[in-house]
Amino acid sequence: MKVGVVGASGYVGGETLRLLVNHPDVEISMVTSRQHVGEYLHRIQPSLKGFTDLTFSELDYDKLTDKCDVVFTAVPHGTATEIVKALYDRGVKVIDLSADYRLHNQDAYDKWYGWEHPHPDYLEKSVFGVPELHREEIKKAQLVSCPGCMAVTSMLALAPLIKNDLIDTDHIIVDSKIGSSGAGSGSGTAHAMRAGVIRPYKPAKHRHTGEIEQELSEIAGSKIRVSMSPHAVDVVRGILCTNHTFLKKDIEEKELWKIYRQAYGEERFVRLIRDKKGLYKFPDPKFLVGSNFCDIGFDLDEDNNRLIALSASDNLMKGAAGSAIQNMNVMCGFDEMDGLRYTPLTPV
């Protein structure tokens, strides 16, 4: 399978390339960057030294169409709309890592992103790229839009609870902690301002809320509202979502185990973490770095009828490039773990 990557000079593009160079069924045919045309990839992405001699090309739709069966678009939000449409119209399979085709409703872009989508008729052509929720649709898709990192991490923990009608869907609180790489390579955030930080940002109306509400409402068959508040923390990679939910009925721990196992027992990239012994009893992003896993656990607060669903992932992997490769594998009929057979890096 010949693939291309559009916009590969950032963290997400670099991570996508790192996975593709080791994929057994893939040849990277073309990589583009507006700023680095003619430069070797490893000059911008040093980890690729010795793995490829490719250079960055300018964006040329005809060349991409001729050279590539699948194209990943890893450009900033708001700039992918025209690129994705142009490639889609040429019959290329597209996996978009921006937010530009995640939401199904045109009005949602005005609400969550503050701009009017220029191609609303293409929103219905896009499949939301979470194989654990939409595998059959992804198999038949030409356009897959990868989820936001905090969105996929929280919704995987919440989806089984909603599917089984366990929780009050009017009161769901998602408290997310995310590392600095989630801000992108061009954020310019100085180390002096990131070290030792637990900083709330966009504590109300964060744009990933729209994705979570969209997907969970689809599962429930009715409108669900989510209150989400993210925090920047002093790590480079990783997300921990503490999802506060309130039970509609009493439930025992063993019943919750059964529900999560029924949902994810066959899933290759979801691990259930709740250990009675040891220091690491619940999901911890430290033990996910470099992997495509989402770890899910839970705890019960009977005094307040509260179920805390905990989920963790690497924001550059399951939250971005890892999901993109997993989606490609599903679209193209490869083994879902191809290019993703990495255990987490420990220690980091």
Convert 46-77 to b/e letters by CB count within 10 Å (16 or more is b). eebeebbebebbebeeeebbebbbbbbbbbeb
* Helix, strand, coil % over all residues of the chain, rounded to 5: 35, 20, 40
- Give residue for tokens 């504590």: 203
For the chain, how long is the longest CA-to-CA vector? Answer: 62
CA distances from 304 to 159, 244, 300, 301, 308 (A): 21, 11, 9, 6, 11
pLDDT digit string, tens, across residues 169-183: 999 999 999 987 766
At 171, which amino acid appears? H
116 has pLDDT over 80 = yes
Q: Is 305 marked within a binding site?
A: no
Give the phi and the psi of residue 206 in degrees, each rounded to 5.
-65, 140
User: How many H helices and E strands in the chain?
Assistant: 11, 13
pLDDT score, position 73? 98
336 has pLDDT over 80 = yes
Strand 126-128's sheet: what is its strand order?
27-32, 2-6, 70-73, 93-96, 143-145, 126-128
Given 149, 241, 294, 332, the catalytic residue? 149
- The answer to whether residues 315 and 124 touch, using CB atoms and an 8 Å cutoff, is no
146 in catalytic set: no
157 has pLDDT over 90 = yes
Helix, strand or coil, per DSSP, at residue 97: coil
For residue 222, the tally of other CB atoms under 10 A from its CB is 10
Nearest-angstrom CA–CA distance, 280 and 178: 19
Q: Is 260 marked within a binding site?
A: no
Nearest-angstrom CA–CA distance, 94 and 99: 14
Q: Is 226 marked within a binding site?
A: no
Nearest-angstrom CA–CA distance, 48 and 200: 34
User: Domain locations in the chain?
Assistant: 2-146+320-332, 150-313
Instruction: Give, in degrees to the nearest 5, the angle at Cα 130 between 125 and 133.
Output: 95
Nearest-angstrom CA–CA distance, 338 and 328: 10
pLDDT digit string, tens, across residues 77-109: 889 999 999 999 999 999 999 999 999 999 999
pLDDT score, position 182? 66
Q: Please, which pLDDT band fits residue 110 given cuts at 50, 70 and 90?
A: very high
pLDDT digit string, tens, across residues 225-267: 999 999 999 888 999 999 999 999 999 999 999 999 999 999 9
First to last CA, the chain: 33
pTM for the full predicted model: 0.95
Radius of gyration of the chain (CA): 20
pLDDT score, position 185? 55
138 has pLDDT over 60 = yes
337 has pLDDT over 90 = yes
Which candidate, 108, 158, 167, places its Cα nearest to that of 132? 158
pLDDT digit string, tens, across residues 293-327: 999 999 999 999 999 999 999 999 999 999 999 99
pLDDT score, position 193? 74
- The answer to whether residues 9 and 36 touch, using CB atoms and an 8 Å cutoff, is yes
187 has pLDDT over 60 = no
Mean pLDDT, the chain, integer = 94
Q: Is 280 marked within a binding site?
A: no
Q: Which residues partner with 122 through β-bridges?
A: none
H-type alpha helices, 38-170: 41-44, 61-67, 80-89, 106-112, 131-139, 149-163
Nearest-angstrom CA–CA distance, 24 and 300: 43
At 168, which amino acid appears? D
- Give the CATH architecture of domain 2-146+320-332: 3-Layer(aba) Sandwich (3.40)
The fold for domain 150-313 equals Dihydrodipicolinate Reductase; domain 2 (3.30.360)
Q: Please, which pLDDT band fits residue 197 given cuts at 50, 70 and 90?
A: confident
